Amino acid sequence: MSHTENTQASTMERSNKSAREIFEDVWANPNRAPFGFGTKLAIVNVDPQKSYTRPDLFPKTAYITDPLQIRHIDRISWEARRKNLPVVWTHVAYMENAADAGVWGTRTNTPDSLQNIKRGSQRSEFDDRLRIDSAVDAVYVKQMPSAFHDTPLNSFLNWHRVDTVVVTGGSTSGCVRATAVDSLSHGYRTIVPIECVADKHESYHFANLTDLHLKYADVVSVDAVLAWISAYEGDR
Amino acid sequence: MSHTENTQASTMERSNKSAREIFEDVWANPNRAPFGFGTKLAIVNVDPQKSYTRPDLFPKTAYITDPLQIRHIDRISWEARRKNLPVVWTHVAYMENAADAGVWGTRTNTPDSLQNIKRGSQRSEFDDRLRIDSAVDAVYVKQMPSAFHDTPLNSFLNWHRVDTVVVTGGSTSGCVRATAVDSLSHGYRTIVPIECVADKHESYHFANLTDLHLKYADVVSVDAVLAWISAYEGDR
Amino acid sequence: MSHTENTQASTMERSNKSAREIFEDVWANPNRAPFGFGTKLAIVNVDPQKSYTRPDLFPKTAYITDPLQIRHIDRISWEARRKNLPVVWTHVAYMENAADAGVWGTRTNTPDSLQNIKRGSQRSEFDDRLRIDSAVDAVYVKQMPSAFHDTPLNSFLNWHRVDTVVVTGGSTSGCVRATAVDSLSHGYRTIVPIECVADKHESYHFANLTDLHLKYADVVSVDAVLAWISAYEGDR
Amino acid sequence: MSHTENTQASTMERSNKSAREIFEDVWANPNRAPFGFGTKLAIVNVDPQKSYTRPDLFPKTAYITDPLQIRHIDRISWEARRKNLPVVWTHVAYMENAADAGVWGTRTNTPDSLQNIKRGSQRSEFDDRLRIDSAVDAVYVKQMPSAFHDTPLNSFLNWHRVDTVVVTGGSTSGCVRATAVDSLSHGYRTIVPIECVADKHESYHFANLTDLHLKYADVVSVDAVLAWISAYEGDR
């Protein structure tokens, strides 16, 4: 074989662009084929809890990207519920001794450390601006990034014959990304309404939107989700 | 409550830095506490197959970041195996009709499309420079990004009482990232030797190394992995 | 509270009936509400491999319950495939060193021990009487009882929008039972055609059919499956 | 090939013995090699909730096999906790609309129907005789038979480097069986203390103990678990 290591050099594309600039190019590409919506969607709202949504209370862990994020999340959840489409909410919370925080409990131990979002604490509470109907919506406590990991989410979606998952919440570079990857992996078309996801740093936010849009999901405007729900006529 | 939407504005940190510059800052931070190695590691080599490692054969899908990547992967796998530490190899391959490619089979259908890495094809073959000992190493075919998804990896590691997973392969922004997130989620300390992972674009590569190093794993030099294996004295 | 341990005595129903007699009573009960078929089924054939189906070759591990079992499995698989309904085949096989057999590799080590069904061995081969179309059917190697455990089965069924799983194969008290429990757990209606499952001992066979019929699945005649497939008109 | 269907007849062993008689034979077999305990165990108590443990309150769904079952469960959990060995409790509960009950919500709808064990209801409460230390023990709500299905149990055990799972609770033929099969499948040595599991009918109880003891677990006296815990000297 004439192929040898000697002939190889790095082929990695170089660029001085910021992650935002790269995302803007990727998102504007008219030739990208979308995954598209399927026949029945669910809204999966990942960790819209005070620890992440209320910088006034928790300035070191909370962040706002789009100031209307919570309003948009609430709106699409409300409209989906009206059409009997499943709405799911997850929040992160750990045991008092953080025995369920795994590796995440090992590095730091400050009030802002992840493992110190205790069950029942204010940090674990959903944002008050969200209208969660706990008689109808599924609510899961989770410990790890993906909303699918160690929760009933996949069985729930499967039973309700959902084929499309709309992911909102935060962070874009953390739990949203992990949830979207698992959503695709389990066989769902995956939609990320850009106004509904947030991160504390634009580079993390846009770099992950790029990965999502290129590989795993359709990054769309929240209006596209609202339009789909509005046109939905129920289970065939 | 005085808290209203009116008081909110985006808090997202802005930056014109490239993802590479941001990673270099994050990686150089002397105050970051590492997750650290545990007591027994496994090497999990994610998709070092010709479709991704041989640009001479597959110029549209393969890429080289560090020209010595394959040599490094082979070296740490060899050294781990000598110490009876588990070595795992995954490669992506699909059914002839791509019935197992899920959403990934829906957008394009060219020879370079993901779902056209067929079982038994050259694209699915491991790189010839790798010394895989199929009598000892675990080898899994996978369909989705994470090496944990729909494979026996977690049960295998658990049975062998592994607590630390070293992830290599590609792409950094795809299967390596997804595998590392799942590794942490399942309860493993996770190590990414930087010379052993690759991507086609530096922004994707470095942005994901940043996420991994901040949240999920220790990004280290391959020498740190070699040193740990060298010092390993077997199951206590 | 007046409730104390002193007041308790065993309430467990006693019976000298054999498991066969108990199943016959349960199965004949006209008041039992069936789970029923849904809108799209898949046939999941669990381990119809020579180790279990060929007593002439492997008298210590193979068994025949209904002499026509293999013919029935082949028939419903053939009819399902003709209607573009998914057909799945699993077989058990382990690495040469049984490193993937977990606890099962620890107790005995004879040619008939489970962990010695090696990959590529005759014991791992599907029964020759089965017409498996490997270009269309999904084929999975598995290590553990359930066809869902550590395989792509659930993602595959979800993607193909299956809501009903027909389980065949053996043993009734082992891999069939485990697969049926997982099928229900993941959200599928589950059907067990009685002529298509087998076990080496009638007590194990009928006791598990009782559990399945009472809790997890509909135990039906294979004719009921054939009739459903015959009436199936495709995805709505 | 001379092998034809004509040559086959049922090889299934026939027997008029009851399941109890068969279990007594299997359990008394001195030649059976045990799986054995490993190096660190967890106690996993499956659904010891009033719906199943209090026939005075719920005569149609509760049952008592060994009158001292609850006392034994409490005792081994207490002793394990004292040695810093993980103790886990699961209970079944569903959403108000049973949207998370899957197939199980489809057949009947009486107060005693499974899907009507509502979150927060008396039926979902743990038996008052159990001393559960919610600051230390892991407590999971589950919907499906196995304590591993859609819960954090596997990640939790893995993180705590448990290699042996002791399963208690009920029913033997339902959630205990399913949990034990999943425990083995995930790579754990599995122990079932016979006094700690219960079922409403002896045939179901003993038939499943037979399957467990032959294939998946060691059925032992609770004294064997107490002795092991007593001798445990902590993580090596």
Q: How high is the pLDDT of residue B218?
A: 98
| Dist. CA C158–CA B149, nearest whole Å | 14
Q: How high is the pLDDT of residue A62?
A: 98
Q: Is residue C3's pLDDT more than 60?
A: no
Summarize the confidence of residues D32-57 as an average pLDDT: 98
Q: If you measure CA to CA, which chain C residue comes closest to D101?
A: C187
Q: Do B19 and A19 touch (CB under 8 A)?
A: yes
Which conformational region is residue C219 in: left (phi greater than 0), alpha (psi within -120 to 50 degrees), or beta? beta
Q: Do C5 and D67 touch (CB under 8 A)?
A: yes
Give the pLDDT band of residue B7 (cuts 50, 70, 90): low
Q: How high is the pLDDT of residue A235?
A: 66
Q: How high is the pLDDT of residue D8?
A: 75
- Name the one residue in this structure whose structure tokens are 């065949």: C168
pLDDT in tens, D89-121: 999 999 999 999 999 999 999 999 999 999 999
Q: How high is the pLDDT of residue B2?
A: 42
Residues of chain A with pLDDT below 70 are 1-7, 235-236
* Angle at the Cα of B196 from the Cα atoms of B192 and B197, rounded to 5 degrees: 75
> A180 CB contacts (<8 Å, ≥6 apart)?
A165, A167, A190, A192, A212, A216, A217
* CATH no. of D37-91+131-231: 3.40.50.850
Cβ–Cβ under 8 Å, residues A193 and A225: yes
CA separation, residue A113 to residues A60, A109, A117, A125 (Å): 10, 6, 8, 16
Q: How high is the pLDDT of residue C1?
A: 37
Burial class (CB in 10 A: 0-12, 13-18, 19+), D72: buried
Give the pLDDT band of residue B8 (cuts 50, 70, 90): confident
Summarize the confidence of residues C220-233 as an average pLDDT: 98
Q: How high is the pLDDT of residue D91?
A: 98
pLDDT in tens, D56-73: 999 999 999 999 999 999
Q: How high is the pLDDT of residue D197?
A: 98
Summarize the confidence of residues C215-219 as an average pLDDT: 98
pTM: 0.97
| Dist. CA D168–CA D65, nearest whole Å | 13
Q: If you measure CA to CA, which chain C residue comes closest to B94?
A: C138
Closest Cβ opposite residue C159 in set B102, B151, B155: B102
Residues in chain A, total: 236
Q: If you measure CA to CA, which chain D residue comes closest to A95?
A: D135
Separation in Å, CA of D137 to nearest CA in chain C: 24
Q: If you measure CA to CA, which chain C residue comes closest to A152?
A: C186
Q: Is residue B29's pLDDT more than 50?
A: yes
Give the pLDDT band of residue C235 (cuts 50, 70, 90): low
Contacts of C202 in chain D (CB under 8 A): 12-15
Q: Do A100 and D151 touch (CB under 8 A)?
A: no
The domain locations on chain C are 36-231
Contacts of D216 in chain C (CB under 8 A): 145
Q: How high is the pLDDT of residue D7?
A: 54
Going by C-alpha positions, the residue among D172, D84, D193, D197 that lies closest to residue D136 is D84
Indicate the average pLDDT of chain C: 95
Separation in Å, CA of D89 to nearest CA in chain A: 14
Contacts of D234 in chain B (CB under 8 A): none
Partner D, chain A 70-99, Cβ-Cβ below 8 Å: 86, 95-97, 99
pLDDT in tens, D134-188: 999 999 999 999 999 999 999 999 999 999 999 999 999 999 999 999 999 999 9
C125 token code pair: 């081969």
Q: How high is the pLDDT of residue B37?
A: 98
Give the pLDDT band of residue C166 (cuts 50, 70, 90): very high
Catalytic member of D73, D76, D175, D229:
D175
D175 has catalytic annotation? yes
Assigned CATH topology for domain B35-231: Rossmann fold (3.40.50)
Summarize the confidence of residues B98-127 as an average pLDDT: 95
* Angle at the Cα of C168 from the Cα atoms of C165 and C169, rounded to 5 degrees: 145
Summarize the confidence of residues D6-11 as an average pLDDT: 77
Q: How high is the pLDDT of residue A1?
A: 37
A133 touches chain D (CB under 8 A): no
pLDDT in tens, C61-79: 999 999 999 999 999 999 9
Radius of gyration over alpha carbons of chain B, in Å? 19
Partner B, chain A 12-51, Cβ-Cβ below 8 Å: 12-19, 22, 33-36
B-D contacts (CB, under 8 Å):
26
Summarize the confidence of residues C32-43 as an average pLDDT: 97
Going by C-alpha positions, the residue among B102, C88, B109 that lies closest to residue A38 is B102
Taking domain A36-231, whether its CATH number is 3.40.1260.10 is answered by: no
| Dist. CA C191–CA C174, nearest whole Å | 16
pLDDT in tens, B63-73: 999 999 999 99
Determine phi and psi for B190, rounding to 5 degrees: -125, 130
| Dist. CA B18–CA D89, nearest whole Å | 49
CA dihedral sign, ordered C222, C224, C230, C234: negative
Q: Is residue B76's pLDDT more than 50?
A: yes
Summarize the confidence of residues B185-204 as an average pLDDT: 98
Give me the DSSP letters along chain C.
Answer: ----GGG----PBP---BHHHHHHHHHH-TTPPP----S-EEEEEE--BHHHH-TTT-TTT---SSTTHHHHHHHHHHHHHHTT--EEEEEE-B-TT-TTSGGGGSS--STTSGGG-BTTSGGGSBPTTS---TTTSEEEEESSS-TTTTSSHHHHHHHTT--EEEEEEE-IIIIIHHHHHHHHHTT-EEEEEGGGEE-SBHHHHHHHHHHIIIII-EEE-HHHHHHHHHH-----
pLDDT in tens, A214-229: 999 999 999 999 999 9
Catalytic member of C44, C88, C162, C175:
C175
Indicate the average pLDDT of chain D: 95
Going by C-alpha positions, the residue among D163, C117, C186 that lies closest to residue B150 is C186
CA C94 from chain centre, in angstroms, equals 20
| Dist. CA B75–CA B16, nearest whole Å | 38
Q: Do C158 and A236 touch (CB under 8 A)?
A: no
Q: If you measure CA to CA, which chain D residue comes closest to C187?
A: D102
Q: Do C159 and B135 touch (CB under 8 A)?
A: no
Q: How high is the pLDDT of residue B34?
A: 97
Which SS3 state, helix, strand or coil, does residue A43 take?
strand
Cβ–Cβ under 8 Å, residues C119 and C141: yes
Summarize the confidence of residues B165-177 as an average pLDDT: 98
Q: How high is the pLDDT of residue C173?
A: 98
Give the pLDDT band of residue D235 (cuts 50, 70, 90): low
Cβ–Cβ under 8 Å, residues B34 and B157: no
